[in-house]
Amino acid sequence: MPLFVIVRHGQSQWNAENRFTGTTDTPLTDLGRHEAHEAGILLKSHQPPNFGIGFTSELERAIETMAIILEEIEQTDLPVERNAALNERMYGDLQGMNKEEAQARFGEEQVFRWRRGYADTPPHGESLADTHVRVTAYFKTVILPHLQAGQPVLVVAHGNSLRALMMELEHISPDDIEKVELATGIPRQYEYDQKTGVFNLLPK
């Protein structure tokens, strides 16, 4: 069964500053680069992967994380497709704002709903539901055919775009996805059963 791996990019500068990053193109920190190296080392320490193709968003922090991982697993020649469908959700008016400042301005409960809720939309931004629509459409039309053809696939993207994808892979409900947190730089690995279309989550 082909391997399917998703990785949230390493820590970015705005992650470190506790800011809403969204679609703002911020670079990795030194810690973020270390996390990316560790992700590659972890992947290589299990059964060494031999990916057929990779996918990232169009944002620098995901692109650099992918490059570092491929260096560690010695697959720097892997073809990688970049697409905005995998970008982080757009946080609208919150982008660039410190999360504690946002809580002081809008209230802790409201900010929690914007961050974790499925259908809650920040001012001029995207909800997770919006993100889910674009991510799953791209997954089904572009990524899934590679797995159906038996190609192992690596995706490096963002906390919310990958949470949206996890809903599809693991059949997570809109209520339950609020409780799901995806750490930076930790590979999440699945085997794709080509006969049943099921994604089996592998142990860490």
Q: How far apart are the first and last CA of the chain?
A: 18
Question: What single letter denotes the amino acid at residue 93?
Answer: D
> Rounded to an integer, what distance in angstroms lies between the CA atom of residue 164 and that of residue 159?
9
> Rounded to an integer, what distance in angstroms lies between the CA atom of residue 114 and that of residue 84?
21
Q: Which H or E run contains 68?
A: helix 60-72
The secondary structure of 114-175 as a DSSP string is HHH-SS---TTS--HHHHHHHHHHHIIIIIHHHHHTT--EEEEE-HHHHHHHHHHHHT--HH
Catalytic residue (one of 9, 132, 146, 158): 9
Identify the burial level of 66 via C-beta atoms within 10 angstroms of its C-beta, where 0-12 means exposed, 13-18 middle and 19 or more buried: buried
Active site residue 88: yes
Active site residue 171: no
Catalytic residue (one of 88, 126, 158, 178): 88
Name the one residue in this structure whose structure tokens are 């039309």: 141
> Rounded to an integer, what distance in angstroms lies between the CA atom of residue 47 and that of residue 180?
27
14, 7, 20, 15: which is closest to 62 by C-alpha?
7
Please identify every residue annotated as catalytic.
9, 88
